[in-house]
Amino acid sequence: MKIKSSIRSAKTRSRNCIVVKRRGRLYVIDKTNPRNNCRQGIKAR
């Protein structure tokens, strides 16, 4: 999963991309192409 500072380009990669907010983080989820998955938010520890 990629970690991006801006997910504007990530959510427009394909039609199946969905933007979801979980635990204060923004995720872009694509079930058909998991390589498009990315996250924006607090750095993981």
pLDDT tens per residue across all 45 residues of the chain: 888 888 888 888 899 999 999 988 999 999 999 999 999 987 656
Whole-model pTM above 0.75? yes
Q: In degrees, to the nearest 5, what angle opens at C-alpha 26 toward C-alphas 13 and 5?
A: 70
Per-residue model confidence (pLDDT) at position 44: 59
Per-residue model confidence (pLDDT) at position 11: 84
Per-residue model confidence (pLDDT) at position 1: 82
23 φψ region: left (φ > 0), alpha (ψ -120 to 50), beta (else): left
